[in-house]
Chains A and B, each alone.
Chain A
Amino acid sequence: MTALPPGAIDCDLHPAPPSVSALLPYLEPHWADAAGHRGLHELETIAWPPNAPLSCRPDWRDGDRRPGSDPERLIGDAVEGFGTRYAILNCLYGAPMLYSEDMAAGFCRALNDWLRAEWLDRDPRLRASILVPPHAPELAAEEIERMAEDRRFVQVLLPVMGETPPGRRVNWPAYAAAERAGLPVAFHAGSAYRHPPTPVGWPSYLAEDYAAQATAFQSALTSLVAEGVFQKFPDLTVVFAESGVAWLPAHLWRLAKYWRGLRMEMPWVDRSPEEIVRERVRFTIQPFDAPEEPDAVARLFDHLGSDDLLLFATDYPHWQFDGMGALPEGLPADLVQRIAVDNPLSTYPRLEEGEP
């Protein structure tokens, strides 16, 4: 078991509203009223079906309650369980992906206020990401500005598969707002399901959908680099959450290769994509999609080419590992310190401010 050092920071946990009715007190009157007479049943995403084994570790299940919906359980299982100093909540509820931009934005405001009142106010170790409508960047920017005043919100959360490739300029207002507020933008596994979640069409099975997330992250990374997001927003950090990491070296190698021959098409990409990604993009460590042998893990880190890339995360309550094995075996202590403490602190400068 690779032990966690003191002060470890869990960069990806998933709270969920127990039901849509839990949001009613936080919805503006129009949306609360509409939720009632439109008969809104639930607004979950199908990416994590509640009963799927992946969606909740067996020992973290609580009967029929929605995984991650009980703050006391999350705090007990994950924050107390792993002894983390801070835990960053990434709520994956589906409401931000509603097709109506206004309704999606209305539910995002409610979810953010619900996170603040029901979670952040409950425990000083909790931090959260700001939910925004991925397909309405101007509304996203407004919500970022509204929530950024609360220093316990430490990043902006988007699904890796939104409506357009994430590098496209239509998305930039959200990045500009995040950069102004000093907040990283996290792209989390998941889709707004505007497009099939695989490039070859709609999959039949959950395993296909989930495995294909890695290809979505590859495309998202390529888009962010090629469209010049890192040049346009020089102070913006991007986090890939629940992305896996083993695909990264091969993809970067390929991307850098084609950049060398086609650089003139995207002249703002003025240095190798490998260099840009190592400097500007961070990755949460679960699911750690590499072989278990320490030698293989060491080779992967060698190929990653930097010890700054990874952020400790349990991905609670998703079932990515058993027991306390959130970190791969055989990592040297100094690397564990980087992943669990140093890298999260440099990625999320608001954490250094301590208790607000």
Chain B
Amino acid sequence: MTRHVVAPVSEFPPGTRRCVVLEGRRIALFNVGGRYFGLLDRCPHQGGPLSEGVLTGLVEAGTPGDYSFSRPGEILRCPWHGWEFDLATGRSRFDPRRHRTRAFRVTAEPAGDLRAETVPVRVEEDHVVVET
């Protein structure tokens, strides 16, 4: 496992997203209400750029008409064909076992534990770290 520092927390506020290239792979990063998520920026269907997809919530219904809406912002729709992916796991909603993209662990960590890589590390604040 390699840990990559991608940004100071102050530059990656809630409600924003960004795309980084780590070890030659494009990874889509999201800050949803202070929680960080990362997905390989490639839909397993036809390679659509997930980083450009709409974020929505999980829509479910036990019976017709009985809608529930949970986990706002944590479901990503591929911009090409609308397939839904769970930001937390990378699994598709329609067939979680067979259709999935890779999810990466993304955390905010104190600067003291980090070594500078592509992003300069500022000692006074936390940094967003992606594990690959």
Q: Mark B71-88, 1 if CB is under 8 A from A, else 0.
A: 000000000011110000
**Complex formed: what's the CA distance from A231 to B56 in Å?**
24
Contact check, B93 vs A263: say whether CB atoms are below 8 A apart. Answer: yes
B28 to chain A: closest CB distance in Å?
Answer: 19
Contact check, A268 vs B83: say whether CB atoms are below 8 A apart. Answer: no
Contact check, B62 vs A259: say whether CB atoms are below 8 A apart. Answer: no
**Complex formed: what's the CA distance from A267 to B84 in Å?**
12
Contact check, A268 vs B94: say whether CB atoms are below 8 A apart. Answer: no
**Complex formed: what's the CA distance from A169 to B66 in Å?**
13
A180 interface contact, C-beta 8 A: no
Residues of A contacting B81 with CB < 8 Å?
260-261
Partner of A263, one of B62, B65, B84: B84
A355 to chain B: closest CB distance in Å?
Answer: 39
B72 to chain A: closest CB distance in Å?
Answer: 13
A215 interface contact, C-beta 8 A: no
Name B residues whose Cβ lies closer than 8 Å to a Cβ of A: 56, 59-67, 81-84, 93-95
A259-285, CB < 8 A from B = 259-264, 266-268, 270, 272
Tell me if B's interface is mostly helix, strand, loop or mixed.
Answer: loop
Give the nearest-CB partner of A228 in chain B: B64
Contact check, A231 vs B93: say whether CB atoms are below 8 A apart. Answer: no
Residues of B contacting A270 with CB < 8 Å?
60-61
Pairs across A and B, CB under 8 Å, 15 listed: A169-B64, A227-B64, A228-B63, A228-B64, A231-B62, A231-B64, A260-B81, A260-B95, A264-B56, A264-B59, A267-B59, A267-B60, A268-B61, A268-B65, A272-B94
B73 to chain A: closest CB distance in Å?
Answer: 14
Q: Mark A12-25, 1 if CB is under 8 A from B, else 0.
A: 00000000000000
Residues of A contacting B83 with CB < 8 Å?
260-261
Most chain A beta-carbon neighbours within 10 Å: one of B59, B64, B81: B64
Q: Give the 10 A-B residue pairs with the shortest CB-CB distance, closest first.
A: A228-B64, A261-B82, A267-B61, A268-B61, A264-B59, A267-B59, A268-B64, A261-B81, A260-B94, A267-B60
A353 to chain B: closest CB distance in Å?
Answer: 31
A66 to chain B: closest CB distance in Å?
Answer: 41
Residues of A contacting B94 with CB < 8 Å?
259-260, 263, 272
